[in-house]
Amino acid sequence: MTITIVTKRKNLLRLSTFLFLLFFAFAAQSAFAQIIQTPVNTALGGGGTAYTTGYESLFINPANLFIQEKEYRFQASAGTFGSYFASPLENSDLNSYWDRYQLQTESFDPGVQPGEADNYRRFINRNYPNGLMTSENQSRGEIHWIGMHWSRLDKSYAIALRSRYSNRYITGRNYYDPDPVELNSNLAFNRSLTHQFQSLHELSFGYAESFTFINGLIPQLSQLIVGIAPKFVVSGAHLNTRYEDRYTRSPEDPVYHRERSFSHYSTGAFSEMTNRFLINQEPYNPRVPRDDLFRPTGYGAGLDLGLTYLITLGDDLSVLRVADPRTRKSLRLSLSITDIGFIYHSENPRHFSFDEHISQASQLPGQSDFFFQGRPGEQFRFLEANEGHPIFDSDTNNTDTFSSLLPTAVHAGLLFQVSRLKLMGDFSFGLVDNMFHTTRPTTYLGTEIRLLSFLPLRAGIRMTPDLPDYVSIGTGIETRYFDLNVAVQLRSRMVDPIEPMREISGFSMAGLKIYIP
């Protein structure tokens, strides 16, 4: 019997190692942005579906509420903040990063030139490498106002209040590059623009427990944990503008084939900007106070669901039963679906659109006089200055209320722990193309090591063929009674053959997190 048990454990360890390596080989394909923006998640590359525990798991995998990394009965935290900013212009230091990051939530001022067009080639190399036709940039911010988590022997509960926003914009290459690009044996010229902005305020409640029916059928020392977290959502000002403007020409054709389409949805402060622009009251100055971007304009409900399968590669389950000795070796496999739900937009809604317009063009338009940086209201001046704003060509113009889906996404995560070393990876993708997530797959790889039990050292990486890579590092002080953590992200891309780009792309810090045994 002893030989059989040892053999089973060896086989289980081999299988776990194989799954771990297979996951990482599959995961290192592409990336976009991170799932949540706490300092621990930021330091690990942006993921944490299997890693994250405590109240934070409400927003990434509520099943992990049942897992405890340290001995406590109650956890409370306040003031956690995180940011991410992928700028089309270079951020030479922390001051320039912070100044431009703040501008992402400050309405556009025409008195300030948004970008000097004195080095187009460097700008194109930075944002459109390898012949890319569009450049995607995003700024995000997240604040956890308060979070609480308490545990019982058979169940865990949590509640948290969070605000987050995302400002995403996609700009066509040929606003800045006057030359068409060869694409699929044709000449392509792209002057499209997408600008999306959304802020959400969420009150989330979570519950998790071990799924004992399944656990009784599994011979190994393991647990399957389920978690659910319903939430009430209040939406701030909403913007979703999509303008497609593409030119294509075959080598034999003397003229370009042009296809255009346009859609614009807005509420709150963005509708106020739209109305001012339309009536020409302030043609290039649709300014509003920053606070108006986050003022409630809609409401909705959502749900986060999670599963975690914990395999202990030893002889205890102390991360589930606090009274036991600490777990030294384990493997976690997690799956979650976040932001299932909708938002009903009711305050000052505006909708403009026209379906596909097809025409021919014998000449191509010239370069833009300035760079688009994604500031609220900037699209009005930018599009108007580049052949006119397409809103005036709209076939649809109404003020009907509308609904939109929450940024639903699927996440799979893996965490392998041996003593004070942790290796983790995540794979996620959005089910809806929106401000927070795209439908492209996203991956995160990270590691944590503790040379001293109270001093974690964390590092992570994001890799993608079409977006800049970033690396992240973080540390903190984690004791039995409190935690303090901080993290920073650095991104890298070759702007020219001899000068690599190195700059800050994000940072996160935590307010005091306390534990009561």
Average pLDDT of 236-242? Answer: 95
pLDDT of res. 482: 92
Residue 120 has pLDDT above 50, yes or no: yes
Residue 14's CB: how many other CB atoms inside 10 A?
Answer: 10
Structure tokens at 280: 């020409």
Element (H, E) at 348: none
Amino acid 9: pLDDT: 43
pLDDT at 383: 92
Other CB atoms within 10 Å distance of the CB of residue 254: 8
What pLDDT, on the 0 to 100 scale, is given for residue 24? 37
pLDDT at 31 over 80: no
For the ranges 54-58, 375-379, 508-512, the maximum mean pLDDT occurs at 54-58
- Looking at residue 129, what is its pLDDT? 83
Q: 466-476: per-residue pLDDT in tens?
A: 666 678 999 99
What are the C-alpha distances in Å from 182 to residues 54, 131, 179, 364?
Answer: 51, 8, 10, 15
Check if the beta carbon of residue 324 is closer than 8 Å to that of residue 291: no
Write out the residue range of the structural domain in which residue 13 sits. 2-516
CA pair distance 441, 464, nearest whole angstrom? 10
| 396: pLDDT strictly greater than 70 | yes
Is residue 316 scored above 60 in pLDDT? no
**CA 504, 506, 512, 517 torsion-angle sign:** negative
* List of E strands, 67-122: 74-85
Q: Token match 């109305």: residue?
A: 275
Beta bridge partners of 142: 82, 164
- Domains in the chain: how many in total? 1
- Reported for 51-57, long-range contacts at CB under 8 A and 24+ positions apart, including other chains, are 51/332, 51/413, 51/415, 51/422, 51/424, 51/446, 54/147, 54/149, 54/158, 54/513, 55/147, 55/148, 55/149, 55/158, 55/159, 55/160, 55/206, 56/144, 56/147, 56/160, 57/158, 57/206, 57/227, 57/306
Q: Quick one: tokens of 180?
A: 């068409």
Percent of the chain with pLDDT over 70: 81
Whether the Cβ atoms of residue 91 and residue 139 lie closer than 8 Å to each other: no
Helix-, strand-, coil-residue percentages of the chain, each rounded to 5: 20, 45, 35
Only one residue has tokens 């409900």, namely 301
Under DSSP, is residue 24 helix (H, G, I), strand (E, B) or coil? helix
The pair of structure tokens assigned to 310 is 């914990």
| Residues 406/300, Cβ–Cβ less than 8 Å | yes
What is the pLDDT confidence band of residue 230, given thresholds at 50, 70 and 90? very high
What does the pLDDT look like over 63-110, one tens digit per residue? Answer: 999 998 888 899 999 989 998 888 887 776 677 777 777 878 877 776
| Res. 443: pLDDT tops 70 | yes
pLDDT band at 336 (very low <50, low <70, confident <90, very high): very high
Partners of residue 199 on adjacent β-strands: 165
b or e along 467-489 (b: 16 or more beta carbons within 10 Å of the residue's beta carbon)? bbebbbbbbbebeeeebebbbbb
Q: What is the mean pLDDT of the chain?
A: 82
pLDDT at position 481 is 92
Q: What is the CATH number of the domain that holds 348?
A: 2.40.160
